[in-house]
Structure 1
Amino acid sequence: MATTTGASRLRELMVDSPTSVGARRRAQRWELFQQLFPSLDQMRVLDLGGTTEAWHRAPVRPAEVVVLNLREPGETSEPWLRPVLGDACTARQVLAAAGAPTAYDLVFSNSLIEHVGGHAQRAALAAEVHALAPRHWVQTPNRYFPVEPHWLCPGLQFLPLGARARVAAVWPLAHSRPDTRADAFAEVQWTELIGRAEMRAYFPRSELHHERMAGLTKSLIAVAR
């Protein structure tokens, strides 16, 4: 197993540094996003599961963005950007209670649907996406890509739950090491990757874009425009 220093360096090269493989992939994703929604600068956008920090760094600027996040939507002084704390699976209710709009031009969501807690919650999230805007972009890592993207661990998503927790507790390429075994168990319980069949079921009338790496589908994006 890699040393802590070596693992940190490897993770930087793969996903964390501005010149990493992950950073280049994110830049390509933004390019695709702009191509698919050329009138983005005129749109009111709802970001489910994002952060204000991500929009501060983004190379695109919608007319207005509301960021809804269960734990840390972030802070901002930008007049076009508004954070709201709450559950994306009940987005309309949360937004109404916060005095935020409940109708948008576009719903945007990156790497959220695999974290909401099982099929019923994923179906609820999809229902909110469909109800809140006529257009959407919903991205998720592909379960069947050989490397689990949150831990950068080959095949982790295919192990039984207990084995996943044991690996997650010690795997050196994770973004942060859990403090306890219970924390590791909770982290893997809250990460349930899905594949093409599930995305087709949740977004049956959407285009399904495949982000590929080495010829394999790394991520799936449901798009309505």
Structure 2
Amino acid sequence: MTMRANLKKQIFNYEDGKGFAYEFRKRRSKFFMQFIDNNFDGAREITIVDFGGTEVFWKSIGFDYLREKNMKITLVNLEAISIVDDDIFTSVVGDARNYSPEQKYDICFSNSCIEHVGQMTDFIDFRNSAQSIAKTYFIQTPSFHFPIEPHFVSIAWHWLPKALRVLIVNNMSVGHFDKGKDLLDSYVIVESCYLLSHKIFKKLFYDGKIHKEKFGFFTKSFIAVKGLEQI
């Protein structure tokens, strides 16, 4: 195993319930369960639409808990994904920036997705979808202010000039990304992640509350939360 692969496994080992990032996911899961208790205690069924979601993420919450709360979770992705526990999950091909199902969900949930959808107009469209299709929302994204960029797994990566980042990707693999095939592909890779500041995220989800996930003195992630009491 290469050093890069070993580092990724130590940090991002979600499958085995290990790794630095998994511990944060567990904390986030506890916060989400508190959100459920505060807003849907006693509900016979809870419907959730998850933008960019996978079954793997929900393992950190626990499938027994999902069944206990009778959660029905629709995973919305640009491509179809395989589902194992189809009594809980449904996979739908769709775009979070323009998703308008016939029914309205109880919760719009998203974990580390909005930073991948494009630029500001795309973020606004994502927000509008979340507001329109669900009674509440729980939207998480990594913080621009945290010194380690989680996708490229590099210190201060997102603070470097774009041209320099493109040059680096065009010449070597970085984080979760292999070396760019050519200059244009390197631009696509660099532009596939756009971390949001607290100011921008708060402006986007103006009708909710912004929770900060902390790592020491730093804010690692933001979670925009809108509960039933805010409607």
- Interval of TM-score (by shorter of Structure 1 and Structure 2): 0.7 to 0.9
- Counterparts of 1:209 and 1:35, CA distance in 2: 13
- 1:58-77 CA-to-partner distances (Å, cap 9, x unmatched) read 41415211111113443345
Say if 1:50 and 1:73, in contact at 8 Å, map to a contact too: no
Instruction: Confirm or deny: 8 A CA contact 1:47 1:108 kept in the other structure.
Output: yes
* 2:197 matches 1:189: no
Alignment of 1:87 with 2:86, yes or no, is no
Tell me the distance in 2 between the aligned counterparts of 1:219 and 1:57. 17
* 8 Å contact kept, 1:117–1:192: yes
How many angstroms apart in 1 are the aligned matches of 2:136 and 2:61? 20
Counting aligned pairs with the same residue, the percent is: 25
Q: Which residue of 2 aligns with 1:54?
A: 57
1:133 and 2:134 correspond: yes
Q: Match for residue 18 of structure 2? A: 19
Cα–Cα, structure 1 residues 213 and 130, in superposed 2: closer, same or farther, change >3 Å? same
RMSD over aligned CA atoms reads 2.1
Is the contact between residue 7 and residue 172 of structure 1 (CA under 8 Å) also seen in structure 2? no
User: 1:8-53: per-residue Cα shift (whole Å, max 9, x none)?
Assistant: 2222222226321111111111111101212377310000111244
Q: Aligned pair 1:70/2:78, yes or no?
A: yes
Question: What is the SS of the residue equivalent to 1:134?
Answer: strand
Shift of the 80–50 alpha-carbon distance from structure 1 to 2, 3 Å rule, reads same
Structure 2 residue runs of 5 or longer lacking an equivalent are none
- Cα distance in 1, alignment partners of residues 11 and 60 from structure 2: 19
CA distance in structure 1 between the aligned counterparts of 2:165 and 2:82, rounded to whole angstroms = 30
CA distance in 2, matches of 1:132, 1:172: 38
**In 2, Cα distance between the equivalents of 1:58 and 1:198?**
29
In 2 relative to 1, CA 73–89 (structure 1 residues): closer, same or farther, beyond 3 Å?
Answer: farther
**Separation in 1 of the partners of 2:200 and 2:155?**
22
CA–CA distance in 1 between the matches of 2:176 and 2:164? 19
Amino acid at match of 1:198: I
Name the SS for the 1:117 alignment partner: coil
Q: Structure 1 pair 77/211, CA: closer, same or farther in 2 (3 Å)?
A: closer
Instruction: Write the deviation string for residues 75-97 of structure 1: whole angstroms up to 9, x where unpaired.
Output: 345133110012110010xx3xx
1:162-195 CA distance string (max 9 Å, x none): 2112233456551241451333321211211111
Match 2:3 to one of 1, 6, 11: 6
SS of corresponding position for 1:45? strand
- TM-score normalised by the chain length of structure 2: 0.84
1-structure distance, mates of 2:219, 2:172: 24
Which residue does 2:200 correspond to in 1? 198
Question: How far apart, CA to CA, are the structure 2 residues paired with 1:77 and 1:218?
Answer: 31
| Secondary structure at 1:190 match in 2 | coil
Pair 176,118 (structure 1): closer, same or farther in 2 beyond 3 Å: closer
| d(CA) in 1 for partners of 2:221, 2:170 | 25
Q: Secondary structure at the match of 1:187?
A: helix
Aligned residues of 1:52 and 1:73 also touching (Cα < 8 A): no
Displacement after TM superposition at 1:56 (Å): 5.5
